[in-house]
Amino acid sequence: MPQDLEAIHDLAPVVNRLPGEPVPYYLASGEGRRYELGGLLWTIIARGCDTGGLFDAAYVSGGRGAEVPFHSHARQHRSFYVFDGSVQVWLGAQSRILSRGDSLHVPAGTPVAYRMLAHLTRLLTWAAPGGSLDFAESVGTPVDRHVHSDRSVSPVLPRRLAEAGEPLGIGFLDLPLPDPQDVWDSALPQGVQPYFLRLGEGDRRETGDGLNTYLTRGANTAGRYFAVDTIGARAPYFIRHFHRLHTENFVCVSGRVWLHVNGHEVLLTEGDFVHAPAGTVHTFSFDAHNTRMLGILTPDVFEPFFDLTGRPTELHVHPEGPAGLAVDPAELAAADLDLVVVGPPPRRAKALDL
C-alpha cells in the first residue's frame, strides 16, 4: 500500500474489483463481492481493508417479503438510502414505509429491522468505522449472480445469527414490530440520534446550478462521516484537487457523472461507485440534466465546504442559473477545508459525442 499522498496521486483507479487496500477504485453497478443471506443479495462495494478501516458499504436487494430482523451494532454508525422499490423499516419504536430517495440513520447501539415491500427493492447502506459487513461475509453464501433470488429462501436460524454476530458486536433482538406511522420526516436532529429523512428534505444549500442536501452531518455520526445528496444541471468540471485528511466516495443515483481520477476519466451511471482515498487528485462533472449524486465523506472534516459554497435555501429542486459556486476559488484555498487545489478544471477528453 502506498505510504504517502504523493504516491496516491500516480495511481490509476482499480476497475471492477475490490482492491484490498486503500487506493482509488471504480465499481460498475452490480460489481463487488456478492453474498446471499436470508433471501437477500448483499453486494459489498467497500470493506474496511479497501478504505483503511474508515467505513464499509453495500447494496442490499431483495423481493417482496425478504427481511432482516431487529439487530444492533455496538460500534458502527450506519445509514441507509432507498435506491429502488419500497421498504418498511422499524427504527427502535418507530416505523415508516420508505420509497426511492428516502433515507434513515442508525447510531451505534440502535435496533433496526426492515422488510422489502416491492418485488425489486434495493437499499444502499454504509457504516463507520469499517467492519459492519464482516457478518454478511461470514454467514452469507458467495454467489456469482447479480440479482437476488426469486424463489423462497429459508431464513437463517436465530441461533446461527446470534453466534456469528456476537464477536462482531452485533446483537439480534426480539422486539415488537409496530405499524408504520404516516409522518413526513423533514429535519435533521441536532445530535446523535436515530431518524428518518424523506427525499428532498434535510439541510439544503443552493449553488448557481445545483442543490446540496445533507442527509447526515458530523453531529449525527460523532464526526465519523457526513453524506450529501447533490442534484444539478449539466456542468463542467470543478477545479482539480485532493484532500489530505479525508476520503471521498461518489455514487451516481441518476443521470451521468464524469469523474476525473488521477488523470483518468471514468463515467458513472446509475448505481456506479468510486472510492477516492486521501491523496487522490479528482474532480467531477455532471453530464445529464437533473443528475443526482450521493457523496459519502469520512471523517467529517470537509463538511464546512458545503456551507461556505452554498446558500441556505427552501428549494426542493435545483436552480438552472449559471454554473458555479457561491464563493471565489481563492476563498476556498484560504479556508481551512482540507482542500488542496492542484490545477484548473480539466477538459473532457472521452466520449465527446455523448
Which residues are CB-neighbours of 171 under 8 A, at least 6 positions away? 71, 72, 74, 162, 165
3-state secondary structure of 227: strand
pLDDT at 2: 46
User: Measured over all CA atoms, what is the biggest interatomic distance in the chain, rounded to whole angstroms?
Assistant: 59
Q: Which residues of the chain have pLDDT under 50?
A: 1-2
Residue 239 CA neighbour count, 13 Å, CB half: 16
User: Cell numbers 455532471 label which residue?
Assistant: 286
Task: Tell me the CA distances in angstroms from 206 to 108, 155, 215, 225, 307, one per residue in order.
Answer: 31, 45, 15, 21, 10
* pLDDT per position as a tens digit, 187-197: 999 999 999 99
Joined grid coordinates for residue 294: 450521493
Positive or negative, the Cα torsion across 250, 57, 144, 154?
negative
Task: Report cis status (omega within 30 of 0) of the bond before 180.
Answer: no
86 and 117 Cβ atoms separated by less than 8 Å:
yes
State which CATH number among 2.30.30.30, 3.40.50.2000, 2.60.120.10, 3.40.50.300 fits the domain covering 202-343: 2.60.120.10
The x, y and z cell numbers of residue 22, run together, are 486503500
Give the pLDDT score at 334: 66
306 membership: H or E segment, kind and range: helix 304-309
Rounded CA-CA distance 242/277 in Å is 9
Q: Which SS3 state, helix, strand or coil, does residue 84 take?
A: strand
Mapping DSSP to helix (H, G, I), strand (E, B) and coil, where does residue 219 land? helix
pLDDT digits (tens, 9 = 90+) for 35-86: 999 899 999 999 999 999 999 999 999 999 999 999 999 999 999 999 999 9
Task: Tell me how far apart the alpha carbons of residues 318 and 324 are, in angstroms, rounded to a whole number.
Answer: 13
What distance in Å separates the CA atoms of residue 246 and residue 278, rounded to the nearest whole number?
Answer: 5
Where on the phi/psi map is residue 39: left (φ > 0), alpha (ψ -120 to 50), or beta?
left
**Which three three-digit cell numbers place residue 72?**
444492533
Residue 134: all three cell numbers together: 464482516
Cell of 47: 470493506
Cβ-based neighbours of 131, under 8 Å, separated by 6 or more: 48, 53, 56, 75, 76, 168
Quickly list DSSP for 104-132: EEE-TT--EEEEE-SSSEEEEEEEESS-T
Q: Work out the number of other CB atoms within 10 angstroms of the CB of residue 239.
A: 16
Q: Are 250 and 238 in contact (CB under 8 A)?
A: no
Measuring CA to CA, which residue among 202, 262, 251 is closest to residue 55? 251
Contact criterion met (CB below 8 Å) for 239 and 329: yes
Per-residue confidence (pLDDT) for residue 287, from 0 to 100:
94
Please report, for the chain, the start and end positions of each structural domain, with discontinuous segments joined by +. 30-172, 202-343
Can you read off the three cell numbers belonging to residue 285?
A: 462533472
Q: Which CATH superfamily is domain 30-172 in?
A: Jelly Rolls (2.60.120.10)
Asked if the domains 30-172 and 202-343 are classified in one and the same CATH topology, the answer is yes
